[in-house]
Amino acid sequence: MSTQVTTAQKVTYRDNMKLRLQQKTPKLLRATTEVDVTGAMAQLDDLLGQVAPNYITTRHGDTLYNDTPHDRRWIAQPPAITYADLVDTHDKLNTGIDLTGGYVQVGAATLNRGTDDAILGGIFGNAQTGEKGTVLTPFDAANVVSVNVGGAASGMNVAKLRAAWEILTKNFVDLDDDELFLALNAAGISDLLSEPQVTSRDFIQDADAIRSGKPGRLFGFNIVPIELSNPMFSNAALTLSGGGYRKAPFWAKSGVITAFWERMFTEVERLPTKNYSTQVYARRQVAATRSEEGKVGYIEFNEAV
**pLDDT for residue 1 is more than 50:** no
pTM of the model: 0.89
60-69, 123-132, 148-157: which has the highest mean pLDDT?
148-157
CB 99 within 8 A of CB 20: yes
**pLDDT for residue 74 is more than 70:** yes
Provide mean pLDDT across the span 147-169. 97
pLDDT at 159: 96
CB 235 within 8 A of CB 117: yes
pLDDT 10s digits, 160-180? 999 999 999 999 999 999 999
Indicate the class that CATH gives domain 7-48+70-131+258-290: alpha beta
Rg (C-alpha) for the chain, rounded Å, is: 23
pLDDT 10s digits, 202-241? 666 666 667 666 667 788 899 999 999 999 999 999 999 9
Phi, psi of 208 (to 5 degrees): -65, -40
Lowest model confidence (mean pLDDT) among 100-104, 179-183, 217-221: 217-221
pLDDT at 212: 65
Helix or strand (DSSP H, E) at 163: helix 158-170
Report which of residues 297 and 58 the model is more confident about: 297
Q: What is the distance, to the nearest Å, from the Cα of residue 256 to the centroid of all Cα atoms in its chain?
A: 8
For residue 277, give Cα distances in angstroms to 86, 91, 212, 259. Answer: 6, 12, 42, 34
Report which of residues 35 and 2 the model is more confident about: 35
* Average pLDDT score, the chain: 91
For residue 80, give Cα distances in angstroms to 6, 18, 115, 218. Answer: 26, 17, 10, 35
pLDDT 10s digits, 233-277? 999 999 999 999 999 999 999 999 999 999 999 999 999 999 989
**pLDDT for residue 26 is more than 60:** yes
Percent of the chain with pLDDT over 90: 74
Q: Which residues of 82-119 are buried (b: 16+ CB within 10 A; e: fewer)?
A: ebeeebeebeebeebbeeebebbbebbbbbbbbbbbbb
Q: Where are the domains of the chain?
A: 7-48+70-131+258-290, 139-255+292-301
Rounded Cα distance, 259 and 32, in Å: 10
CB 221 within 8 A of CB 165: yes
Give the strand pairing for 127-129 and 73-76.
antiparallel
